[in-house]
Amino acid sequence: MPDLRTNLSPVSELAIDLDRNGGDALHRQIEASIRQRIRSGALPAGVALPPTRPLAAELGVTRGVVVEAYAQLVAEGYLTSRGGGYTQVASTAAASAAAPRVRRPGPSRLPRPVVDFGYGRCNLAAFPRSAWLRSVRRVLTEAPDERLGYLDGRGAVELRSALAAYLNRVRGTSADPERVVITSGYAQAVSLLMGVLAARGARTVAVEDPSASDDARPIAQSLGLNLVSVPVGDDGVRVDAVAELAADVLILTPSHQWPTGGMLSPQARAAVLAWAQRTGALVLEDDYDAEYRYDRAPIGAMQGLNPDRVAYAGTASKTLAPGFRLGWLILPRELVEPFAEAKLLADRGSPILDQLTFADFLSRGEFDRHLRRMRPMYRSRRDALLTALARQLPEFQPAGIAAGLHLVAWLPPDLKEATVIAAAAREGVAVAGVSPYRLSPAPRGGLIFGYSNLSERAIADGITRLARAVSGLLEGRTHWEDGEHRQE
Ligand SMILES: Cc1ncc(COP(=O)(O)O)c(C=O)c1O
């Protein structure tokens, strides 16, 4: 039998820090601290806790408070109470401490970013609230009761019609309302479509490299599909690699490659479509931000060139708000029915009031008006970013066409992506790297700058801070070349 006295846990080891100003009841705070120490393994099985009287004295509470806390933890099975008054950590509690723990990021010693170049957002402050509210009002006033019932798996016909008209006009698609299905954003579109294709015998899905492979990989895994990648060049996916590709479906961002920003030329589009036609594969065209082309009219969607071999996916996440969870697909005819069934099975359809409101908003020209307001704002932000990079970080090489809500800049070859991101964070700048989106390693690092949510002043400030971070690294470079310091 262990000598419990030698196991006595010093009071300080319990790490109890009482909040007497409106916190939880004192016994609950003591319980919570001890429970947490046991769960984390800091108090292993068999360790004896301090007797109640000295602990109470040290904490400045009555003994009854400590007794109550211990009793509760005994009742929960964290502690056992032994004859002689000692209270020990129970062995079952220790077993649970040994179980895998959820990894949480430790408390960050970095300041919160002053400038956050996070991507995948749009300017939420510019959401067209008044116009949206007018559409909500109209819909609620005018929609007959029956429109509030269960939905067609394709979605509300009003929205499918409005979207078909809008997309044919603006994106050069070949859509009729029968081929349009409404989804909860692109995320649901890609996941349900992969499921439908897998059920029809698809085995392999190809994605661009880099791409939003963090979306595609878990979907492929859960469906038992092989995931292969096709390299991306300056102008989008490399068609020489596509020509040799063996895949049932190829997910592409042809109008603005995500994240590198290249655009697939008309010749390259034709080559990809010829591959799809020859092999019977389907191209999933992810047209996630095509509304924003700043230097000229955007090139039309690939779907318009071959509606039988291309499924077109769009989303409201970059134009209205990602929290909307509204997206759409234009599908080859034979996929409409199975997709609509999958959608009904998944969630019985996307919320009807949002669909009807968006239909009203689109057909009254409010969506066009909203985009006409947003484009110059985003364009100025992108220009501010490019100007600041050219002035302060000329060694960084911006990539891609004048479009979208983010910009990739390639790093000079001797700067490591992770090192730059960490140095930027120390200067108060949050920026992401391209590497997490790669499937195979690449020699050159890159940063993804989202600019949609930042004022021009904030963008300039962010790049000044980043330049300071990078100059620190470049100064360090001479040291590690001398072998004095190791950078990583
Ligand atoms: C490549 C790409 N496709 C699509 C989307 C939109 O996804 P969702 O409609 O699920 O919000 C995003 C959003 O960031 C994206 O980066």
Residue nearest to atom 7 of ligand 1 (CA): 186
Kindly state if the Cβ of 322 falls inside 6 Å of ligand 1.
Answer: yes
According to the model, what pLDDT value does residue 102 have? Answer: 36
Closest CA to ligand 1's atom 16: 120
Helix spans in 282-351 (H)? 333-347
CA distance 440 to 424: 25
Ligand 1 near 427 CB (within 6 A)? no
More confident residue, 66 or 180: 180
Q: Name the more confident of 368 and 71.
A: 368
- The ligand 1 atom at the shortest distance from the C-alpha of residue 253 is 1
- Averaged confidence pLDDT in the chain: 90
Q: pLDDT tens-digit profile of 272-291? A: 999 999 999 999 999 999 99
For 66-95, the pLDDT digits (tens) are 898 888 888 778 888 876 667 888 877 655
The CA-CA-CA angle for residues 466, 472, 476, to 5°, reads: 145
Nearest CA to 33 out of 49, 51, 53, 54 is that of 49
Give me ligand 1 centre to Cα 481, in Å.
Answer: 42
List the single range of 30-39, 128-137, 220-229, 373-382 with lowest mean pLDDT.
30-39
If you measure from the C-alpha of residue 289 to the centroid of ligand 1, how many angstroms do you get, rounded to a whole number?
9
104-112 CB contacts, 8 Å cutoff, 24+ apart: 110/425, 110/426, 111/428, 112/428
Candidate of 119, 182, 186 to mutate for ligand 1, largest count of ligand atoms within 8 Å of Cβ: 186
pLDDT at 39: 82
Ligand 1 closest atom vs CA 187: 10
Nearest protein CA to atom 6 of ligand 1, as residue: 186
In this prediction, residue 485 has a pLDDT band, given cuts at 50, 70 and 90, of very low
Work out whether strand 180-183 and strand 327-330 pair parallel, antiparallel, or are unpaired.
Answer: antiparallel
- Whether the pLDDT of residue 105 is over 60: the answer is no
Rounded distance from Cα 183 to ligand 1 centre (Å): 13
pTM of this prediction exceeds 0.85: no
Residue 110 Cα to ligand 1 middle (Å)? 29
Give distance in angstroms: CA of 185 to centre of ligand 1: 8
Give tens-digit pLDDT for 223-238. Answer: 999 999 999 999 999 9
pLDDT higher than threshold 90 for residue 14: no
Whether 120 lines ligand 1, by a CB cut-off of 6 Å, is yes
